[in-house]
Amino acid sequence: MSVEQFRVDDKVAVVTGAASGIGRATAVVLSEAGARLVLADRDEYNLEQTLKMVDEAIAVPTDVSKQASVGKLIDEAVSHYGRVDVMANVAGIMDAGGPITSIDEAALDRILAVNLKGVFFGVQAALRVMGEQRSGSIINVASAAIDAAPAGLAGYSMTKAGVAILTRVAAAEGGPLGVRVNCVAPGFIVTPMTQRGARRDDGTVDDAKMQPLVDFMRKRSVLDKVGDPTDIANAILYLASDASQFMTGQTLRPNGGTAMPA
């Protein structure tokens, strides 16, 4: 095996959730590995900031909870570059927290729309294009919550578990078409999403509030560490590249050893 198999030179990669966190890190890593990018997010300001961090790319403001918006995203990718080789469904939220008995319908609908339907729409739109091409790699982002079943995160956990099984079904349907579909289930990663509870009114992070959470999550890792967005982006790069050409329907777990399912 050559290290060149880990490069994605000239591949067209669509990345949702690209305005921050894991999505932004994925965009940067794929760009450094040679990809041409289509960056998607609802946050147009920070999406433009990510655009400045990469080489060849376009930005397409997208609401992944809307099927038409995701369809338009893929249409623009094909219109601009002529194809889609990689689809990284990274966008997600961590709403609808608290005990199951306290979650109202609006909060549940919101997290289902973004975390589950949003990934479904991304898989659906990409699979149509990639199936016609007879090639492509789709990477979905789940969470270590699919193994840990954490109390207080029912909405988040069940949407991410749905992403994991969706990945396997899509792999079964995509395989005969030459399309691989895999999943990444990160452990605790320091991102704007996980920092949400420690933010001040002006948007800055209160380290005194954030550090106890980081310390708690670090102690759950057998490596005694928490993750960085780039740790997940590197796993996504592997699944996007030809180095993983014999892998489909699988869930990679870069989680520091916090969960080790058989």
Residue numbers annotated as active site: 156
- CB-CB contact of 157 with 146 (8 Å): yes
236 token code pair: 């996504």
Q: Which residues neighbour 179 within 8 Å (Cβ) at sequence distance 6 or greater?
A: 127, 130, 131, 135, 136, 137, 138
- CB-CB contact of 51 with 77 (8 Å): no
Distances (CA, A) of 186 to 24, 176, 179: 15, 28, 23
Place of tokens 């961090």: 53
Residue 4 burial by Cβ neighbours in a 10 Å radius (0-12, 13-18, 19+): exposed
Place of tokens 């399912």: 261
Distances (CA, A) of 128 to 58, 62, 190, 204: 21, 19, 34, 41
